[in-house]
Structures are given as structure tokens and as C-alpha cells.
Structure 1
């Protein structure tokens, strides 16, 4: 949580492995939420004191062009943290903290 931008460039499996290596259960699953592109992958983290979920989106769709990924970190302490590229559209309409990466 000290450097949320550290997820930038990482796949869902890589993020899950970081949590597993730290002793937490982490499950990777395809997102099934209606009203989304269906391209996101969820990393569900059990028993972590802060992070509950990390959504990894490969890009493409309404927020970014194809190949321009972004991440949404859901926490129990700081709400949602979005790690987004400079070309992300609609950041001002999101709930949570926005962190841009290059």
C-alpha cells in the first residue's frame, strides 16, 4: 500500500504471487461483472489487513486504447486506488484515488 503504482506492468498472476509469497491466499479469476468489457481479471486476496482485491484490465474499451492497461486496487482502509496511464479517459468520474503512471 505504500507504493500502489508498483502494480503497473504486472499481470494478475504476478500480483497474486506477490501476495502468496507474503503468506496470503490469492485467487485469480476472470471478471464476470455485468456492464463491463469482460476483459478484466480479478485477484482476490484473503486475510490481508488492507488489500481485498486487485483488478487488472489489459486496456481497450471506454477508458483506454488497446494495449494501455490499468489496475484498480480495492482496500478496506483507503477505498479504491486506480493506477492508470496518461491516456486514461474518465478519471475524474471515478471514485477513489487516481495514480498515473508513464
Structure 2
């Protein structure tokens, strides 16, 4: 299963290359404008495409799951920057390498 959470149209260009036959794609990100995707690739993979509107009643449950330890989000933070390096952090995030998932700017205590 692949979750597309950016809503960035170029991310859809090869999304069906990432799933196995019979796989699923969850479209979570909301694009600003309509965009095409390769229906032939989806059909060849016999993909199921799910559409998710992520804002409806999910934040309290997600926060509770993170707070309880049921979901560990710490491994998703792959890059950390000090607050004083915020501009560098945004520049890095703009062109992140494929090995990065999430950039965090650490606030001073």
C-alpha cells in the first residue's frame, strides 16, 4: 500500500510503479488543481485507489494514539535543525534527498 499525502501532482506520475499487483493507493493529500494519473498502470496492477479526506474527526484520535505510545512517530523525523538554522532547514526541505522523510526545527528550551 502506498499513501500519497502531499497532494503534489508529480508524485502521482509513478505511484503505480511502487505497488505490487493487487496493491492499494490511498490518496490523502489534496491537490490544488485536478491532475491526470496513468489509468493503464493502475489497471495492469489491478490497483485499488482509496480517497481519504483526512481532516474529518481524525486529529483527536491521532493525538491520543501518539500520546499513548501506540504509534511511534520519532523514526519519521530523519533530519533535525536548530532554530537558528531555520532558513537552512527550509532550503533542505525544499530539495530533500529520497532518504529523508520529515525535517524538524528544534525550538530552544
Give the TM-score normalised by structure 1. Answer: 0.29
State the structure with more CA Rg. 2
Q: Which has the higher strand share?
A: 1
Give the TM-score normalised by structure 2. Answer: 0.28
Q: Which has the higher helix share?
A: 2
